[in-house]
Structure 1
């Protein structure tokens, strides 16, 4: 495949780097330490099952969903899966 000035496999390397960065970003945002019994946003109780499933949980499900929606709009990662959009 003709790639012009780019070396062979450069597109795949960039895609792999984007995926690696997204994984590192997601892991860095995982809560750590003991979870809270009450939501730090609305003071609602956090169920024991959620505290066991999510280490370091700080928000109830409703507040976490609202937080995730806010974060999702600011994400700069390619969601289309197109190689062309990876190079922009």
Structure 2
């Protein structure tokens, strides 16, 4: 007999894997990054700019993504 906790854990893992797959399948920014944030005009850290296509600092990007989801 399968333990209900094991089944719940397996279900949670499947859902987590699906959510990660959906996030990775989404569009990724590309091209050159800006040196300063579009919203607050603070400098974007070099490590973030190295990812390519970055236009906002982490804080402003987080706020932007929260607003888009609404």
The two structures share one fold, judged by TM-score above 0.5 = yes
TM-score normalised to structure 2 length: 0.59
Bigger fraction of residues in helix:
2
Answering whether residue 31 of structure 2 is matched by residue 33 of structure 1, we say yes
Runs ≥4 residues deviating over 2 A: none
Cα separation, 1, equivalents of 2:43 and 2:57: 7
Structure 2 unaligned spans of 5+:
1-18
d(CA) in 2 for partners of 1:51 and 1:59?
A: 9
> Partner of 2:60 in structure 1?
63
Instruction: Please give the TM-score of this superposition, normalised by the length of structure 1.
Output: 0.48
How far residue 26 of structure 1 moved from its aligned partner, in angstroms, is: 2.1
Number of residue pairs matched?
50
Q: Unaligned stretches of 5+ in structure 1?
A: 1-18, 74-88
Report 1 or 2 for greater relative contact order, CA contacts < 8 Å, sequence distance ≥ 6: 1
Aligned-pair CA distance for 1:70: 1.1
Over the aligned positions, Cα root-mean-square deviation in angstroms equals 2.2
